[in-house]
Amino acid sequence: QQNELNSFLWTIKRDPPSYFFGTIHVPYTRVWDFIPENSKKAFQQSHIVYFELDLTDPYTISALTSCQLLPHGKNLQDVLPHDIYRRLKRHLEYVKLMMPSWMTPDQRGKGLYADYLFNAIAGNWERKRPVWVMLMVNSLTEVDIKSRGVPVLDLFLAQEAERLRKQTGAVEKVEEQCHPLNGLNFSQV
């Protein structure tokens, strides 16, 4: 059955070969069993691995966080229509209330607490640009909360590459992802 799966793996025939592999930003446990062996083998045999962004670099994480913020002195309440802002605030209060019941015993066993997790995901939400708040809200579901603590596929592969002492790099800079999203107008968001 593994042979029949679409691998999202492209090969550039040269010596040694190069590979392109398409990943998605979901917990790796949701997709790992569906990644064909040829993709896993290509990863294992590679000496150098490039990712979309270097998610193991603290600067990358810091820059991603900074780029999401509205200009200094602005708050989400200043840029959203009042009724949408009020609905968003109510929804986030609901999520915060529900989050303890969404967490798994395994997460609790690892020391993850609902308040901590909510703040890690939604902290400073009133300072974020609408597009980033939209993406944040989309990730505040019971299914997504239950999988928190499990790295997304890209991060899992980056951590594996580091563990296996592979040389790593990134094909994009944070700004190349951030500026297009930040450039969307309110109706596009």
Tokens of 16: 């040694």
Say if residues 121 and 139 touch (Cβ distance below 8 Å): yes
Instruction: Record the pTM.
Output: 0.77
Percentage of the chain beyond pLDDT 90 is 53
For 16-72, the pLDDT digits (tens) are 888 888 877 888 998 899 888 889 999 999 999 999 998 888 999 899 989 999 998
User: What confidence score (pLDDT) does residue 70 get?
Assistant: 94
How many residues make up the chain in this entry? Answer: 189
Q: CA 42, CA 22: separation in Å to the nearest integer?
A: 13
User: What confidence score (pLDDT) does residue 7 get?
Assistant: 65
